[in-house]
Amino acid sequence: MGARLSLNNHKSSTIELSEVSQSDTCKRQRASSSFSNENLRLFPYLPDEISLQILARLPRIWHLNAKLVSRSWKVALTSGELYKLRKELGTTEEWLYILTKVDGDKLLWYALDPASRMWQRLPPMPKVVVEDETRRGLSGLRLWNMVASNIKIVDSVREWLGKRDAFDKIRCCGCSIGSVDGCLYVLGGFSRTVGLKSVWRYDPIVNCWSEVTPMSIARAYCKTGVLNNKLYVVGGVTRGRGGLTPLQSAEVFDPCTGMWSEVPSMPFSKAQMLPTAFLAELLKPIATGMTSYRGKLYVPQSLYCWPFFVDVGGEVYDPETNSWVEMPIGMGEGWPAKQAGSKLSVTVDGGLYSLDPSSSLDSPTIKMYDHQDDSWEIIEGDLPIFTDSESPYLLAGFHGKLHVITKATNHNIVVMQADRQNQLVYASSTSSSSLGKSLQEFSQVVARSPEHIWKVIASKSAGSTELVSCQVVDI
């Protein structure tokens, strides 16, 4: 165990057991009595408040096995008290969660522990089955009940045979994902022809899914972002009598209260400036991305008439004024081109990064936004990615560094980390006479040798699996 404990966050290496305040210790003394119905101590001959501090330093990758030690350990490891203590001690860990799709509509989640480079598969998401709107009348209802009964019988047989997991499918598409307050959220989508308001939450502490308060309106393909520990949802499409209708509305979820609140709708001011009513009817405004940056939400937008997209800048939501303003011109015009209607971006250590996907002529590139000059700058060229997939890239930021997730030519999911610091050390050592000269040479070496910057930190066999989205959760 000692070897594994050394993998903990570096912030925890200098923390002593006595760092917890007296008041917090008293609270845990009272709370510790609930950790075991049998009044057994977590560790023999140690007070439970001290034992909790030991468990709080245990890497998360071992929690599933540690829960099997005893009932009291399981209760302790699934308690909110333990994870509050992990925050105080600085032993929380950032894990990468990747949503994939197989066999057309089966969604599977995988979690990566970057420290141990080990993967875990999450429990299957609950089934979302909504009766088709075309079913009308008593006969349709009876038929649906018969089918549902048969499905339950088949599921019972499959579960008894140990094969149920292979058939668990979430029968929906277009759902969006987000993460806030240490949990994953799956929002909306379509089930057959019906739009969904439902929201599902995955809690890593108890390792299970639960349904929470639904959104105010059914949405699919909406964009999500986190600001001030609240989950924002904007745009998307819904199904009306005339078919699919783009949405300009927005709402926000507070995990502390479990409730949704209304946010002013996006004005889509650029869409109002179209020269003719014909174009206004033909081109529909949609939100194509969302990112939290410098205390505000930035939403790039496009006008679309499938399969064509026209970028029109975007808008910015300011929570202090509770209003939208037009996105800075340089940011809007320089935002990388669409990728299946979505613009990939992530904030890492205060910097806004975006990925410009590859085309038939150019390799994918990483851009960084300079808010002072209102401009984008290419900081990495020729990413070492070789794939023909239509949507091959995901972006994530954890451990203070930028990561790109993609599928390699051997069909493995590959997680690559951009580590310019290593290259900087290399460049400095090549020219000890002048640090300034080395820094100049470094920027040139970066453009010529991307293989020295990007390194693979993890990979996983994936076969025909498609990448859908990813999130980072720190608990």
Report the alpha-carbon angle 64-68-73, nearest 5.
90
Range of the domain at 461: 93-118+344-475
Are residue 54 and residue 104 in the same domain, yes or no? Answer: no
CA distance 292 to 278: 35
CA distance 357 to 335: 12
Q: Which of 89, 109, 132 is the last residue of a domain?
A: 89
pLDDT truncated to tens, each residue of the chain (475 aa)? 444 333 344 443 333 333 344 455 555 555 554 444 445 789 988 999 999 999 999 999 999 999 999 999 999 999 889 999 999 999 999 999 999 988 767 889 999 999 999 999 999 988 765 544 434 333 333 323 333 333 343 344 334 334 444 334 455 688 999 999 999 999 999 887 788 999 999 999 999 999 999 999 999 999 999 999 999 999 998 887 777 888 999 999 999 999 999 999 999 887 666 656 556 566 778 898 999 999 999 999 888 776 667 778 899 999 999 999 999 999 988 887 655 567 889 999 999 999 887 665 567 788 999 999 999 998 865 677 665 555 578 999 999 999 999 988 888 999 999 876 544 333 333 333 333 443 344 344 334 444 468 889 999 998 888 899 999 999 9
pLDDT at 312: 83
Confirm whether 281 is domain-assigned.
no
Are residue 400 and residue 445 in the same domain, yes or no? Answer: yes
CA distance 163 to 96: 28
The sign of the dihedral angle between the CA atoms of 55, 58, 61, 66 is: negative
Kindly list the distances between the CA atom of residue 294 and the CA atoms of 262, 297, 298, 434, in Å, as whole numbers in the listed order: 22, 8, 10, 35
pLDDT at 432: 35
Nearest to 33 by CA among 25, 41, 45: 41
Confirm whether 238 is domain-assigned.
no
Are residue 378 and residue 399 in the same domain, yes or no? Answer: yes
pLDDT at 181: 94
Query: pLDDT of 241-284, one tens digit each?
Result: 777 888 999 999 999 999 999 999 999 887 666 656 556 566 77
pLDDT at 194: 83
CA distance 456 to 412: 12
Confirm whether 320 is domain-assigned.
no
Are residue 60 and residue 16 in the same domain, yes or no? Answer: yes
Confirm whether 69 is domain-assigned.
yes
Q: What is the mean pLDDT of the chain?
A: 76
In SS3 terms, the chain reads as CHHHHCCCCHHHCCCCHHHCCHHHHHHHHHHHHHCCCCCCCCCCCCCHHHHHHHHCCCCHHHHHHHCCCCHHHHHHHCCHHHHHHHHHHCCCCEEEEEEEEECCCEEEEEEEECCCCEEEECCCCCCCCCCCCCCCHHHHHHHHHHHHHHHHHHHHHHHHHCCHHHHCCCCCECCEEEEECCEEEEECCEECCEECCCEEEEECCCCEEEEECCCCCCCECCEEEEECCEEEEECCEEEECCEEEECCCEEEEECCCCEEEEECCCCCHHHHHCCCHHHHHHCEEEECCCEEECCEEEEEEEEEECCEEEEEEEEEEECCCCEEEECCHHHHHHCCCCECCECCEEEECCEEEEEECCCCCCCCEEEEEECCCCEEEEEECCCCCCCCCCCCCEEEEECCEEEEEEECCCCEEEEEEECHHHHHHHHHHCCCCCHHHHHHHHHHHHHHCHHHCEEEEEEEECCCCEEEEEEEEEC
Q: Which of 39, 72, 89 is the last residue of a domain?
A: 89
Are residue 49 and residue 114 in the same domain, yes or no? Answer: no
Nearest to 7 by CA among 59, 75, 67, 71: 59
- Asked whether 405 and 387 are in contact (CB, 8 A), the reply is no
The domain tally of the chain equals: 2
pLDDT at 6: 37
Confirm whether 75 is domain-assigned.
yes
Residue recorded with tokens 């057994």: 40
Are residue 14 and residue 113 in the same domain, yes or no? Answer: no
Confirm whether 160 is domain-assigned.
no
Confirm whether 231 is domain-assigned.
no
Are residue 20 and residue 105 in the same domain, yes or no? Answer: no
pTM exceeds 0.85, yes or no:
no
CA distance 178 to 222: 11
Are residue 82 and residue 99 in the same domain, yes or no? Answer: no
pLDDT at 424: 34
Confirm whether 372 is domain-assigned.
yes
CA distance 160 to 138: 33
Are residue 351 and residue 419 in the same domain, yes or no? Answer: yes
pLDDT at 105: 73
Per-residue burial over 122-157, b = 16 or more CB atoms within 10 Å of its CB, e = otherwise: bebbeebbeeeeeeeeeeeeeeeeeeeeeeeeeeee
Are residue 386 and residue 459 in the same domain, yes or no? Answer: yes
CA distance 439 to 428: 7
CA distance 395 to 421: 19
pLDDT at 203: 96
Are residue 37 and residue 97 in the same domain, yes or no? Answer: no
Are residue 388 and residue 467 in the same domain, yes or no? Answer: yes
Q: Which of 52, 69, 89 is the last residue of a domain?
A: 89
